[in-house]
Amino acid sequence: MGRALCHMPRGELKALAMTDEIIPTAAAASAPVPKDWIMAIAPYVPGKSKTDDGRSVSKLSSNENPFGTSEHAREAFRSAAMTLERYPDSAAVDLREALAAAHGLDPARIIYGTGSDEVLHMAAGAFAGPGDEIVYSRFGFSVYPIATRRVGAIPVVAPDKDYATDVDAILACVTERTRLVFIANPNNPTGTFCTRAEIARLHAALPAHVLLVIDQAYAEYLDPEDDDGGMELARTAPNVLVTRTFSKIFGLASARVGWGYASAEVIDAMHRIRQPFSFSIAASQAAVAAVKDTGFVERCRLHNREWRARFEAEIAALGNKGLRAVPSRANFSLVLFEGETSAETAYKGLMDAGYIVRWLPGQELPHGLRITIGTEEEMTGLIAALRKIVAD
């Protein structure tokens, strides 16, 4: 087939000539051929919401808010039901203004997407491509390898320091081919935290061409004095993107609202590849109402802090059974099973008792369970069940 009648925008022919050289043609295949880098992706495994035999039980596997969402957010969502036929505002003006007012930001420098997952994908898509490298920590968030491979970039995994992010190990992985560093702070699935000084040190040592993406999905669970300084860096530095979500403390996981903040130049590049229309009108209005309900957020943060501490103390008391909780700053705890009872046994025993938690063999953590901090009732019941499992 000739190309004579095909039209390509100016500049594209040269790009095509280049890719033809690197990427072999699929013309001889009998079916569409996915890119190698796509087939190298291990699909994301979500938390379960039912037991293997179909019972609905306490779901402590996805770090959702056990108190639901703000009553104001629910009301705002409901009242948007009459506009389902309308496209949402592509510019997300209401949401950006609410966020800008709440955080003291420039609304023009806020990017948004269907969950912060999409914002992470946009960062990789705008700043990395085939042959480029993206660095993240071992036991980092499981979306980073997917976002990296999706754009044909090469994942470079820095060793951890007892499950936590090791800033020096990350820096040692950075080369002139590095385009992005992803760091979740606090991190999921470990709950570990890099201090403000560590983040500042990481940023100061990174070359100017590297975009530092600080994923703050759990920022609202931190004590106020534990601010990691990420937002301040995103305000002032040309190469820092902070991402946030409404899925965790705000209890709007189903609404799929995420956002990010960075320099005008970084945000401009990301806008070029975002979906023209993102989360629904109802989702946007729920998020706007949720931002304003600071009382709800504060109650959830305090409950989480109390029950996370109690849970960690309970696990410490089971230290003689080989259990250990990685110190967490988030709304979950990673419990390691280093004694006779395996994580798999505990996972199944908890499921029988009515609690679904996250067992993570696919993330190099076959000896770990990630357990979301639930209500008082859920935590009391789960702790009793866990005690019984390790005693038997």
Nearer CB in complex with ligand PLP: 88/115: 115
Specify the stretch interacting with ligand PLP by CB under 6 A; choose among 51-59, 69-77, 111-119, 130-138.
Answer: 111-119
> Does 260 sit near ligand PLP (CB under 6 A)?
no
245 is an interface residue for ligand PLP by CB under 6 A: yes
Binding mask of the shown chain, residues 135 to 174, with x at each position contacting ligand PLP by CB under 6 A: ------x---------------------------------
**What does the alpha-carbon distance between residue 369 and residue 356 come to, in Å, rounded to a whole number?**
10
Which is nearer to ligand PLP, 229 or 321 (by Cβ)? 229
280 binds ligand PLP (CB under 6 A): no
Structure tokens at 123: 């960062």
In 7-82, at which residue ranges do the beta strands (DSSP E only) sit? 58-59
Scanning 155-163, 245-253, 260-268, 280-288 for contacts with ligand PLP by CB under 6 A, the matching segment is: 245-253
Spatial contact of 344 and 368, defined as CB atoms under 8 Å apart: no
Backbone angles phi, psi at 85, to 5 degrees: -80, -10
Report which residue's Cβ sits closest to ligand PLP.
Answer: 115
CB of 215 to ligand PLP, least distance (A): 5
The verdict on 333 binding ligand PLP (CB under 6 A) reads no
DSSP labels for 106-164? -GGGEEEEEHHHHHHHHHHHHH--TT-EEEEETT--THHHHHHHHTT-EEEEEPPBTTB
**Nearer residue to ligand PLP within complex by CB, 171 or 253:** 253
Give the list of residues 6+ apart from residue 357 with CB closer than 8 angstroms, or none. 60, 61, 347, 350, 369, 370, 371, 372, 382
CA gap 144, 136 in Å, rounded: 7
User: How many C-beta atoms surround the C-beta of residue 189 within 10 A?
Assistant: 25
Q: How far is the CB of 224 from ligand PLP (least distance, A)?
A: 20
Q: Where on the chain is the footprint of ligand PLP (CB under 6 A)?
A: 115-117, 141, 184, 188, 215, 217, 245, 247-248, 253, 258
